[in-house]
Structures are given as C-alpha cells and as structure tokens.
Structure 1
Amino acid sequence: MDGQENEQRNTGDADTPATGRGRRWALRRRGGDVSPGRGRGLTRRVGVALAVVAIALAGVVIGTFAGGRVQTDIGPFRAELTLAPALTGGTTVDIPPLGALHLDSHDGPTHLTVGLGALDQRRTEALIGDPASISRASQSAVTDVRTGVMRLGLRTAGATLLVTLLLAALVFRDTRRTAWAGGLALAVTAGSLGLAASTLRPQAIEEPRYEGLLVNAPAIVGDARKIANDYTKYAEQLQRLVGNVSQLYTTVSALPVYEPAPGTTRILHVSDMHLNPSGWQLIRTVVEQFGIDVVIDTGDLTDWGSEPEASYVGSIGLLKKPYVYIRGNHDSGKTAAAVAQQPNAIVLNNSTTTVAGLTIAGIGDPRFTPDKETSPAGSGLTKQVADQVIGAGDQLAATVRNSPTPVNIALVHDPASAGPLSGTCPLVLAGHAHARQVSKLPQVPGQMPTQLMVEGSTGGAGLRGLEGEKPTPLSMTVLYLDKDKLLQAYDDITIGGTGQSQVNLERHVVRDPKAGAEVPVTPTPTR
C-alpha cells in the first residue's frame, strides 16, 4: 500500500485528490488550456489601465480648476484669466457689474474666462492725461491678452501634471504607473489646448453675445476703435480750444451791455458729463477765468453708474470750489457716494443746502437707466416713467415749500420734473436733454414766476457723442445772480466739435439791475 501511494506521488497522477496542481499539470500534458491565472492577469491589467486613465483625467480636471488662472494687466485693468473644462469652448469676458460678453472664439474642451477687475489708478490717470494713449491701449490689449493666455496655458499644464502625479503616487504607490498617469494627463492637457489654438476664430470679437447691462451698450466693442480714434483727434483739438476760453473771457468781460456788480454770485451750471475727461479741463478753465463761486451739476456724470466709473469724479476736488450735485438717470448710488467723498462736494437728494449765500434744493432722478425695473427698455416717457419723473418734482416742491429759508435755485435732472416747482422758487436748473433750452414755467396765479434753464451736455454726450460725423458740442453756462440772489444774466459757453475750431459765448441779459426790467438778449460774440 505504501509503495502504491509513493508511485502515485512520483507519477503525478491527475486523479490524486491530495492536490489541484496535479490535475492542472495533467491537463496541460493532454493539450488542455483552461488557465484561470492568465484570465485573471488580463483582467487585472485592464483594470490598472482604466485606473491610470481615471487618475489622469481626475488630475486634469482638478489641476485645471486649481491652477488654471493667472493675473495679468490688460490696458488699465487688472484682469484674471481662468481656464475650465467645457464641451463647447468659447470665451467669456466679464465686466462686473455691467455684465459679460460671450465670444464663439474656439472649440472645446476648454473655456476661457477673462474677468476685468479694478482699474489701476496710475495707468488710468496716464490714459486720461494723454489722449493718444487710448489708441495705444487698444492696440496693446491684444498683446496683453495673448501673453496672458500663454502664461495661463503653461500654468495649467504644470498644475495638471503635478496634481496627477500626486494622485497617482497615493493610489498606485508604483513609479511606472505614476509616470504613465502623469504622461497621459500632460498629453490630454496639451491636446485640449492645441485643439483650442487650432480652432481659434479671431473674427468672433465682431459678433459677441451680450449679457446683463451690456445688452444696452454694443458700442463697447462694435465702435470702440472708431470712437477712440475720433476722441484722440477731438481731444487734441480741445487742448487748443480750451485756451481760447480765457481770451474770450477777456473780450466779453469788457462788453458795456452788462457789467456784473461787486456783490454778484457767479454759478457754473454743468450737466451730463458722461465720463468725458476733457470736460474737466474746460470746467477748471472756466472756474478760474470767470471767478466762479459755485459749480452746480444736474447729473449724469457716468454712463452706467458702475464702481470703476466712480473714480471719474476725482477731478471734483481739484476745482477748489463748492460743487453741488444731484444724481442723473445714468448715475447710481455708488456714483453719488463717490461724489460725496470729495471734500468740496454736496450731494442733494430731496434736500437743501446753503452755499455762497444761496439756498439750493435738489433731488436725484428717480430712474436708474441700467436697472430696467426703474427704466424699462425702450419705454420712452411712458405713463409709468412720467409718473416717476413728475413725482420727483412733486417731492422736491414739497421740500422747497417746507424749507425754513426761501429757496433760490431748485435742481432736477429731467426737465419733466420741473413742472410742480412752478411758483416755489425763481430758478430751476435741469439737464438730461443734451440741448440747451430756456423757458418760463406756466405761472401759478398769485405766485412768483419761475425760470427753467436746461443745460446741454458738458461732456458732449460722452463717447457716444463721437459716433456721428461731428461730435456733440461741449456746453456749460455761467449764471450771474445779484445780491438778492436773482438771475441777472447768463453766458452760454459752447466748445465746437471736430472741424469747428471755435469757442462760442452768448451773453444774455435777463434783467437790467438799474432799470429792474428785462432787456433783450445781447449779440453773440464768437472766437
């Protein structure tokens, strides 16, 4: 018996129940190929490959979100470029709080976001101080974006490689598999960026899709180059035109028709600056040459009332004169707050102030144009809007009547608000229409007559005023009030547009201080 068992062990009998190795060996000898180990090995290799791919893709996604962003300068803006995985590709230009532009710039699987942040004060001041720099900035912006995108691509590739290697090392704890995952992640990232670069469509900038408040401002892209070129020519000419104001003042002040008395209060009425930096230079010249006591602004300093635009009001402090302001329909609460921070500024909102011996009442426009709940798109002066505008006049009229000191001047932005103020004060100043108009409000029996003076645009309607063949003229008015704070005369100052190298001043005598009666308008001196 012992001999038989030893013989079976030595011959490796397949029927021996003591071990499975004998059965497998016998099957191989007979030509069978049932190899469970080989099947399990193939499955294991496929699983490892899929794990490498999964780790690589996870590293690409995580690395792109974590490291796919760079800070760069684009013109006067501090911008952030961000890359994210996407199926449709394209580029989004965020201009907070105005909205965004969406460009079909390239195909997927990457989406570029350009976020324009705060304005750099030094570069912005240089841009405003040198009109030619606007053109240079528009040309360098493309280079700025290209440089930023290249930095973004390299940073993204580096981030995805690093994240993938860390993930693979933690999961596999194997150098070869970690290297395979890193190489695959780098290949996917490079391929995605290469696809975006190969499908780049520069002409997409000409057909943007607007979102947010920018729906109302297509000129920010469409006509930006034309406006910048026109502004450069216009600003260069304004440098010469503003100098003529002092010469004009010398001539006009010698006219015998009207000579301001020693106790005369001089007011400069400006309105609707609309971000035109050239308007500030003109205002400073007039303030100095005409001996202005108070500057009154009836609104629309900005176009969209955004936080970056608020920096535009910094020139108010340079005037060194009281600056009384009411908000226009293009100005926001942030605009009014920025004005209020100026040391010489007074913001009125259904309130009164006393400055230079004058009691002035004012109220801001009830609308905010970028907010379509208060200013419906394409609504014009509908009943809803008319009720808002006239209601503002009613509120201010009540404030004027309740003022403990008689009000000399009332301020509204839209002339449509002036009606309820008839008989409450002798003079109402307004803007909004971008065209001068002087008239008397319908007189209320038994009450004083009220004069309405609507100013043109001191900023020439802003950049939109350059879209036509000739820019909208810059205009402002110097008011002369006697010791009783009644209007005696006013000078309409107009700076001509491109091709009109002239400064016009029209002197109007409203009341002869000696005769106490109104007199005809004087001739128009022009230089």
Structure 2
Amino acid sequence: MASVAERHEQHTGNGGPPPRHLRPDLKSRLITSVRRALSILLVVAATCGGAYLALVAYNQSSTLSVGEIRMSVSPGHRGALDVYVPLVDWGARFEAIRAPLRLRVDLQTINRGVATGLAQGQSLDIDRVRIEAQEALRSFIIRLILLTVGAGAALGLLTAFAIRSRVLRLRWTAPTSVLTAVGIGVAMVALIPPRGEISDPQYYAHGPDIPRALEAVEAAQRTPGVLDQELDAQLVGLARLVIDPGRRQSLAGQPTITVASDLHNNAVALDVLERASDDGPLFFVGDLTDRGSPLETALVRRVAHAGDPFVFVSGNHDSDYLSRELAEEGAIVLTRRGRLKADGSYGPVINRIAGLQVAGYDDPFERLSSQSFRDRFDNIPQPGMPETFANWLRPLVGKVDVVMVHEPQLLSTALQVLKDDPPERPLVFLVGHTHETDVATQPGVSVINGGSIGAGGTGNLTESTALSLARFTFTLKPSFQPLAADLVSIDPGTGNSSARREILEPVGSTP
C-alpha cells in the first residue's frame, strides 16, 4: 500500500507525468494565436481601408488668378501628374510621381479678364501663377495626407474597440492602428509630391477629341509672347507647351492624311480606323492580315472603304490574293511594279493621291496563294534586299513625295545614300512592321511609323501594344513640305487616347 509521501510525489510530478488537467492545451493555444493574428490583420485592413476611402473621396478647389482648379487623386494608375481641361476634354500628363496614382488637376473655370487680355496680346505674370499653383498643390497634398492618416486611424481604432476581448486587448490593437496610419502617411509624404523637373508632357485626349487637343496645343505654340517659359513648378509643369513659337507654322487648314499599319485581323479596330480617317485619305502600310487567306480577306475587306481613298502596300503577313481583292474593291494598291489594277495589270509607279506624288514597295516576303499562304523565308531582309530597294528608289528621288514600304530595314541603304546626298525635294517614307510609333528625320528625309492599329493583332494577345496610328500634315502650295506628324495611341483596356506632335522642319524645295 502506497505511503502518503509516495502519493504526494505522484501528484507533484516528481517521478511521474502530471495530471491530465495540468497539461498545456496546444490546440487552445494555437486557436488563440490565430485569433490574435486575425485581429491584428483586421485592424490593419480597416486602417488601410479608411485611408483609401479618404484618398479617393477628398478633393479641393482653389482659385488662381487665371481661373479655378480642382485637385484630386485617382489610385491604381502609373504615377503621374495630370493637368486636365474638362472644357475641351484633353490634358497633359507628366510622369513625376512615384506612387501608383494620378494626381489630377482639373481646370474648372477660366478667368474671363485674363483670357481677354491674352487675346489682346497682354502678357501673363507667369511667376505669380507658378507661386499660386505651388501653394494650392502644397495645401492640397498636406490636407490629403492628414485626412488620409486621420481617417485610417479612426476606422482602425473603431475596429479595435469593436473586436476587443481578453484574447487581444486594446493595448495591442490600438497602437497597431496608429502605427499603420502613420506608416501610410510617411509613404504618402515620400511618394506623392512630384519630384524633379516636370517636363516632356504627354498630351492626351479621349477618343475623337484628339485633333481638338492637338489643335489647342498648336494654338498655344502660336501665341506670341505668352506662356513661353519652362513651367517647372510642382503643379504647372505645363512645360514646353510653347517652344520657340515664332518659328512654328500654323497647321490649321493644311492637308492631312492618316497613316496606319499592322491591323493583323483585329476587326474590332476597324471602327477605330474608320473614325480616325474621318473619310479622308488613309494610307495603310502593310500587315492588314496574318496570312492573307480568303477567310481573313473577307474579314477585313471593308477596310477598302475606310478612307477616301484607301491606299495600300502589302506587308509580310499579307498576300497577293489580298492585294488583288482590295484592288477589285476600289483600293489603291501600290507595288514596286506600279499600281495594281483590278484586272491584274499594272499602272504607273508614281501616282497622284491626295495632292501627293506617291509610290509603294510591296513586301518581299508577301505570301503567295500558289504556296498556300505559308511563311516565306524568315521575314528579315536578306543580304542585297536593301540595295535592291535603293536601286528601285534612285530614279524616283526628286519626283516622288511619299514612299510606302512596310519593312523599315529595307530603307537602310537608301537612307545612307540620301544622308550623303540629301534630296532637294522633301521625301517622306511611311513604314510599319515594328508595332511602335516613331518619327525619324535627316536632312530632306522623314520616316514616319504609325505603330500598330490592331494592337499587335489577334495573334499577339500577350503583346503589350496600344492601338496606334499617325496623322501626317503637309503643305501643297507653293510646294510640298512636311509639317508635322501626330502620333496617336489608344489604350485597348480603357479607351483613353494620347497623342504627341512631332514637328517636321520644312526643307528647301525645287524651284
């Protein structure tokens, strides 16, 4: 029979396992830890949620000497300062903010007296406007940060009070909310205020208002003595709206053509192309389809009526079948042998179109119906092809204004020859293939690439490419002179459009 001492030893654990009711309950401790973690996460989420609601909801209006502006923030975008004019639905964007949001400054009203004075040639006190704009933006950012931090902390503390318990007391949840809100404030201080020089704006507009935006920019550039400084302040970095305005020639009323390429069967973009051309001349520089098959041709055939006229040269993704069908539809199809007629014969190499002398060079890798529209070669110009193109071009220089060719690499030899011996008569090349908008110039020569109107096409769904095209403006009287190329891009996801104007300096023409 056990003694009293032995029984006591068993109960105290000296010589055996403790009683069941004294063992740690691991499951209970795990549940408690999870509850505490979830409580902390809930408080953090509530704090962030309150801060976000304040961020998107708050806006501030300020009256400057030139008019009234409204400032707000739009999260979820690439960091930028947007100066937007709702009256004409266009604006300027400066990538000067590191946070993933857009700091929007909307011009709501314009001071009538200031506008009248500008129209009468009076000067504008730029320094005053800059200081006013700086103060307005600084005030907005300070209030925005304080309000965001306060709203985040308030909702976080409210949540902390609502979930307080013996498991996780306020001494843990309340500081969590406050520290999270302060962290958000510090991040805003570091990332929201525009940094560095605010310059090189990207002008943008929505849909059909792009021409209006570009005309407004051009009008600003023509205004003598007004807004001719680099506005490098935090807000009014409307930098370079006006650069050397005295030398700029007005583009109003000058003839313009639409330049596009690389649709790649994207029939959805046909509507965009039709609206952009606005029943004017449309020059399409290849890759209307992916293979040029009869099925694809039927899909895009209507493009032949998108412009007045519709001018076409083939790309490496087009075919001889497609070219013949477009010619039968009334399109102007240009080849190195001349204009392709509906009966399969060829007309002149140089054709007068929209007042221009135009020639076109069909792509060497154009697919053939006799070969079942298969790929030909490797789609990279082979040795000798640039020289062949240069030899074809040589007798046309001085007689032709515009040459259409899909593959820019074919121009390499010709551009070098023209660089060594610049043409007296301006020469413009319209190209495609790269899916990137671009303008390159050298004495007497301009190369314009409208990008990809099909955003890479249905066969390039993983390619990050915007719908893009170009508008080429020129003079015809007293002679042909290139004036400007407007490069237009349209985001397929949002439908927002951006545009920039590249001025093409006129050169001496043949007497």
**TM-score by structure 2 length?**
0.45
Indicate the structure (1 or 2) with the bigger Cα radius of gyration: 1
